[in-house]
Structure 1
Amino acid sequence: MVFHSQYPDLDIPQCNILTYLFGDGQNQPTTPLWIEAANPSHSLSVAQILSWVKRLGSGLDKLGVPKAAAIMVFSPNHLYVPVVYLAAAGSQRLFTGANPSYTANEVALQIKTIEASILLVHPSLLKTGLAAAKEAGLPFDRVFQFSSGENPLSEEGIRDWRSILPSHSEAQSWKWDDLYGKPSTETTAAINFSSGTTGLPKGTCITHYNLVSNASQSLYLRLVGSPFSVERPNPDERWLAFLPLYHAYSQLWTINIACKLRVRVYVMDKFELAPFLSYIERYKITALQAVPPVLVMLAKRPETSKYDLSSVNHILCGAAPLSQTLQQEVSTKLGCVIAMNPGTVDIDESGSIGHLTPNTEIKLIDDDGNEAIGEGARGELVVRGPQIMKEYWRNEQATRDCKDSEGWFWTGDVALHRGGKFWIVDRKKELIKVNGLQVAPAELEAVLLEHDGIADAAAVGIVVHGEEIPRAYVVLQPHAKGKVNEKDIQDFVAKRVAKHKKLAGGVKFVDEIPKLASGKIIRKVMKEWSKRDVKEVESRVKARL
């Protein structure tokens, strides 16, 4: 059974992302749009960012960087990351960003995989960036320092990125190809590397039409039922951007949608709780795009009570599963709407991921490969729509494994359909198999986070005596340390789940749950921990038996 959106199909333009955002480029607003949160005197207007985009587009042309070549950014967030994103994509080159926490080996792997032509490195990461460039064989004259301020020549002879740019006046004649029609569906704009939570990262190729579609759909859902529109947005809206700009979620909202809506965005270089809370109070932030770990902090960290967060009226949460309990807890505490939006469904306040977005279809495929139908249908979420990626970068097998010839994309998410809405149960590859029964780590994690002594948690399967059983790694709240033990946690969960979901593999207290900047738990690390702990757990299970 194919589920269709309840919303009317949108007339989504097929064009260059620059055409979608800036039209013909004339008469752009000059009021500050992207603002440095730590220093609001530093800002860029739409007109200014377009001028910088033209300068970089022209500079890359003069440098001889060919079309479809990758421009790679290795930097924390700052005001000029959107410039590179839009200039690289708009000039028919490729934008790709690397996690600033990567090691030199990890950066080198991405450089080699993407065959980067240019590497823009923040000065604080220059040592790592140069080591990566050397390992990947990228000449140092194609590596540039990249930050909000202009940088002097480094000891290694690395120039500032501004050195390749013509003046603002010289670049005003630079034009981009509108890519109307089919070219926009075929031309890759950005390559975002998958999180690598279960294996090596893969490059996800996103076309201009994908970007325009995703922005159009998200804007429709954000504005439907409100008195505002793209042409007449809410003048009082203010956002705080703290999600990493190498990630698609942040690119969509911080760059593309903010620019289209002309919403003021205060940009943080990275997430830190105290500054995050202070900026909300200082700038009277009205809306946030967040990930579940941030909501866990808002719900459970005592620091939140020290700041006035009453201006926040809407939080969009994506990138990882969010429990209904946590959703409701934060909503009640802050008095705001908490909405989920993974990109194929609309926002919802019931704990579900809601209805389908416009122009989108969904199927649920059960373990036997059949379409799950009717009320309570459960299976892998298979999606088709104009926002779905084109392919994995130079990885035909990986593309075939998740996308068929008819455009259906196999997400790996296990979903439940009920009452016309969808609930994400878990990731298919992450399910724990207990005596043939499936246990979703996210379900156990949601239960664990209901405990007022738990700050964060992750569940994973551990194979003991040839059988897989659930195990949890838990970060305690400061007030619970020394007062709550492992058995207390096991008993707490046991009262709330079926027998096969009990934490028979035990509980281990840790200082931190390993997560990506997007908020996703790094499942491959959890599996490594469980393998490491097998002997310890087996000895306990033996003694118990």
Structure 2
Amino acid sequence: MDAVLGSRRLLRAAYPILRPWQRLSPVTPASVTHVSSHAQEQPREKNVVYSSFPSMALPTQDLPHLLYERLQKWRHLDAMECSVTGRKYTYGEVLDKGLRFGGIVNTFLPPASSSASPEEKIRTVTFFSQNCPEFPIFLLGTLATGATLATINSNYTAAEVARQLAHSEAGLVVTEPLLEGMVREALVKLGKDLPVVVNGVSQQGYPNVRDMLDDPARPFCDLVQTHPEDMAVMLFSSGTTGPPKGVQLSHRAFTSNLTFFTHPKIFPYHPSKEGEAQEVVTGLTPFYHVNGLYLITLIGMYQGAKVVSFPAFDPVSYVRVIREHKIGILHLVPPILNFLTMSDKVTSADLASVRGAICAAAPVPSTTSKLFKEKAPNPIIFQEGFGMTEILGSHMTPLDDERLGYCGKVVPNVMAKVINAEGEALPEGERGELCIKSPSLMTGYYKNPTVTAQTLDAEGWLHTGDVAIHTDGFFSIVDRLKELIKVKGFQVSSSELEDVLLEHTAVADVAVIGIPDDRAGELPRAYIVRSSSSSCSEEDIHGFLKERVAEFKQLKGGVRFVDALPKNQTGKVLKRELQELAAKEG
């Protein structure tokens, strides 16, 4: 009993924001201590690459308790500001409004009884919106109640939104005025009437969540204690193949990765301290994506940075924000890097405040990164990293060891290996599939044990589907085993497009591949065998897809009609031959 009372005193000291009526669930002292990871204390395996940094002690509390403990240190600092409207919130407001949003969640989705099964206790809040400065409030408030936050790509069609709402078993939807019509259409397709709140004035009669957050009469939620292995966030990923699947990311996955990925010799932010300048970064990568939710939002909160959010990319406002906010670290994807490097709209003077760039989502040609560094007026550390929705961050370029063209070294507490078809770890310099072992791996794909077992093996290694080589501890992604197309950093599943196209009565057979593109990285192209009686055109195919899949999944690489697809004796399409054909066609 004394231990529990002591723990409550500690929480009151750590979270002075909490009002007397905000009862905290009792926590044990273990929830606010740290334990060492044993990942690198085991005997070292041959050809397995270990971090050059010592293993770090990892938190054992859940994600909202960790964040509340950190955010108290910079309550007075700005957390996020909208680049378009100027609407912004301090960390103190994020803490307060987060707990009020938690109260809203509990109103719509009352917590299950203590006797309920683990599955019955899962409550899912779905975020379907462009980037907005309220996102940290929605994220923190959801987690504070013990519920799960799921996200949906804001470019999705109503059919795609409906499928994802169903798969995540959404109980409450948070959207924006621009997309509320899409939500209503998706709910009609789903045959459900879920509660919806809108971040702004609704044209459909839904509650304005911003007004609700400003209502002082609306109660705060209790900050509940959640088991570290419980699901915190569900993001969607195509994994190594197939349509998007719900990736279960636990509280422990986030708290461990936040600890070791922000190692001071790896991550370039200057952590906020009393009386010192605050790090200001760009928040252009969509928050529904792991890069936006984790690398920008959560790490920004953990380090006390200010994020300037963008609902969409606008070249003029993007350059203006870099200049006026004196951005120190740029979060980039290859198309934005190309814009900054090649566009006449970006001058050397515009980059005067920039001291570092982190580029993720796809490999970067070293020629492009060199040109960017040359354009900037001051020295810049250019860092590439590697991560996936299923693993968060595993590799990063050390701050004192820049090597362009590589995705960095493994970070503390993480192990990596490159394997052949027989599963044997290969020595450096040889190509094979990249596998990762880390404390921050996903729990699995939601209600999909078959695909989970294909990705996570019995020894705890996650098979990425990427072909890599490593030299001197540095890794480089050179190819893909998985049939995914990367369009501006977004995953496009070739099999998903093939399944949709086969619904067209004129399509007898189809294969979709990615073709190189200077601006997008890759674009989807379909090779189609027409039905015997059909004379459908490329325009017919484009029109068929337009209402069925998101804009970035459209066949902007073109449609080619062929008499037959190249296949092996078992009937598998030989996509390598189609890639060779595409290279000849140009």
Q: Same fold (TM over 0.5)?
A: yes
Match of 2:89 among 21, 44, 56: 44
Return the alpha-carbon distance in structure 2 between the equivalents of residues 456 and 229 of structure 1: 33
Match of 1:122 among 168, 176, 188: 176
Q: What secondary structure, in the 3-state scheme, does the structure 2 residue paired with 1:411 have?
A: strand
Match of residue 176 from structure 1: 223
Match of residue 190 from structure 1: 233
Match of residue 79 from structure 1: 133
Equivalent AA in structure 2 for residue 383 of structure 1: I
Match of residue 15 from structure 1: 61
Return the alpha-carbon distance in structure 1 between the equivalents of residues 250 and 482 of structure 2: 27
Return the alpha-carbon distance in structure 2 between the equivalents of residues 464 and 167 of structure 1: 56
Q: Is 2:250 the partner of 1:207?
A: yes
Return the alpha-carbon distance in structure 2 between the equivalents of residues 359 and 197 of structure 1: 24
Match of residue 365 from structure 2: 323
Q: Is 2:322 the partner of 1:253?
A: no
Query: Structure 1 residue 258: deviation in Å?
Result: 1.2
Match of residue 191 from structure 2: 137
Equivalent AA in structure 1 for residue 302 of structure 2: K
Q: State how 1:246-325 maps to structure 2 within 5 Å.
A: 246-305=288-347, 308-325=350-367
Q: Is 2:424 the partner of 1:370?
A: yes
Q: 1:460 to 1:133 in 2, by over 3 A?
A: closer
Q: 1:236 to 1:516 in 2, by over 3 A?
A: farther
Return the alpha-carbon distance in structure 1 between the equivalents of residues 205 and 443 of structure 2: 38
Match of residue 157 from structure 1: 205
Equivalent AA in structure 2 for residue 220 of structure 1: H
The answer (yes or no) to whether the contact 2:101–2:213 under 8 Å persists in 1 is yes
Match of residue 6 from structure 1: 52
Match of residue 509 from structure 2: none
Query: Structure 1 residue 34: deviation in Å?
Result: 1.0
The answer (yes or no) to whether the contact 1:383–1:409 under 8 Å persists in 2 is yes
Match of 1:399 among 427, 452, 467: 452
Equivalent AA in structure 1 for residue 322 of structure 2: I
**Deviations, residues 204-262 of structure 1 (Å, cap 9, x unaligned):** 111111111222222115667x8955767962521111111111111113321111211
The answer (yes or no) to whether the contact 2:383–2:408 under 8 Å persists in 1 is no
**Deviations, residues 139-186 of structure 1 (Å, cap 9, x unaligned):** 15x012124xxx25x3x43222357669447635x332344xxx20x2
Q: 1:159 to 1:11 in 2, by over 3 A?
A: same
Match of residue 54 from structure 1: 99
Q: 1:306 to 1:26 in 2, by over 3 A?
A: closer
Q: Is 2:382 the partner of 1:338?
A: yes
Match of residue 115 from structure 2: none
Q: What secondary structure, in the 3-state scheme, does the structure 2 residue paired with 1:316 have?
A: strand
Q: Which moved more, 1:239-248 or 1:318-327?
A: 318-327
Q: Is 2:151 the partner of 1:97?
A: yes
Aligned length: 458
Return the alpha-carbon distance in structure 1 between the equivalents of residues 430 and 92 of structure 2: 49
Q: 1:107 to 1:45 in 2, by over 3 A?
A: same
Q: 1:462 to 1:115 in 2, by over 3 A?
A: closer
Match of residue 492 from structure 1: none
Return the alpha-carbon distance in structure 2 between the equivalents of residues 395 and 263 of structure 1: 37
**Deviations, residues 51-93 of structure 1 (Å, cap 9, x unaligned):** 1110111222233444421111111111112211122223221
Match of 2:464 among 401, 411, 421: 411
Calculate percent identity across the aligned residue pairs.
25
Q: State how 1:466-481 maps to structure 2 within 5 Å.
A: none
Query: Structure 1 residue 5: deviation in Å?
Result: 0.7
Q: 1:459 to 1:221 in 2, by over 3 A?
A: farther
Greater fraction of residues in helix? 1
Q: What secondary structure, in the 3-state scheme, does the structure 1 residue paired with 2:98 have?
A: helix
The answer (yes or no) to whether the contact 1:288–1:314 under 8 Å persists in 2 is yes
Q: What secondary structure, in the 3-state scheme, does the structure 2 residue paired with 1:55 have?
A: helix
Q: State how 1:439-450 maps to structure 2 within 5 Å.
A: 445=516
Match of residue 490 from structure 2: none
Q: Which moved more, 1:45-54 or 1:19-28?
A: 19-28
Return the alpha-carbon distance in structure 2 between the equivalents of residues 257 and 222 of structure 1: 15
Return the alpha-carbon distance in structure 1 between the equivalents of residues 142 and 159 of structure 2: 24
The answer (yes or no) to whether the contact 1:346–1:355 under 8 Å persists in 2 is yes
The answer (yes or no) to whether the contact 1:204–1:391 under 8 Å persists in 2 is yes
**Deviations, residues 344-375 of structure 1 (Å, cap 9, x unaligned):** 112243221121100001111113432212x3
Return the alpha-carbon distance in structure 1 between the equivalents of residues 520 and 208 of structure 2: 41
Return the alpha-carbon distance in structure 2 between the equivalents of residues 28 and 8 of structure 1: 29
Return the alpha-carbon distance in structure 1 between the equivalents of residues 67 and 521 of structure 2: 40
Q: 1:160 to 1:516 in 2, by over 3 A?
A: same
The answer (yes or no) to whether the contact 1:230–1:260 under 8 Å persists in 2 is no
The answer (yes or no) to whether the contact 1:36–1:78 under 8 Å persists in 2 is yes
Match of 2:482 among 429, 435, 445: 429
For structure 1, the 5+ residue unaligned runs are 433-440, 450-454, 466-514
Q: 1:77 to 1:24 in 2, by over 3 A?
A: closer
Q: Is 2:507 the partner of 1:458?
A: no
For structure 2, the 5+ residue unaligned runs are 1-46, 112-120, 387-392, 486-512, 530-548, 565-576
**Deviations, residues 271-300 of structure 1 (Å, cap 9, x unaligned):** 222211121112111111111111121222
The answer (yes or no) to whether the contact 2:433–2:468 under 8 Å persists in 1 is yes
The answer (yes or no) to whether the contact 2:269–2:279 under 8 Å persists in 1 is no
Return the alpha-carbon distance in structure 2 between the equivalents of residues 232 and 216 of structure 1: 21
Equivalent AA in structure 2 for residue 176 of structure 1: L
Equivalent AA in structure 1 for residue 363 of structure 2: P
Return the alpha-carbon distance in structure 2 between the equivalents of residues 89 and 532 of structure 1: 49
Q: 1:431 to 1:47 in 2, by over 3 A?
A: closer
Provide the alpha-carbon RMSD of the alignment.
3.6
Q: Is 2:166 the partner of 1:112?
A: yes
Return the alpha-carbon distance in structure 2 between the equivalents of residues 233 and 218 of structure 1: 25
Q: 1:77 to 1:228 in 2, by over 3 A?
A: closer
Return the alpha-carbon distance in structure 1 between the equivalents of residues 420 and 241 of structure 2: 22
Q: What secondary structure, in the 3-state scheme, does the structure 1 residue paired with 2:286 have?
A: coil
Query: Structure 1 residue 460: deviation in Å?
Result: 8.0
Q: What secondary structure, in the 3-state scheme, does the structure 2 residue paired with 1:372 have?
A: coil
Return the alpha-carbon distance in structure 1 between the equivalents of residues 341 and 62 of structure 2: 41
Match of residue 435 from structure 1: none
Return the alpha-carbon distance in structure 1 between the equivalents of residues 523 and 168 of structure 2: 34
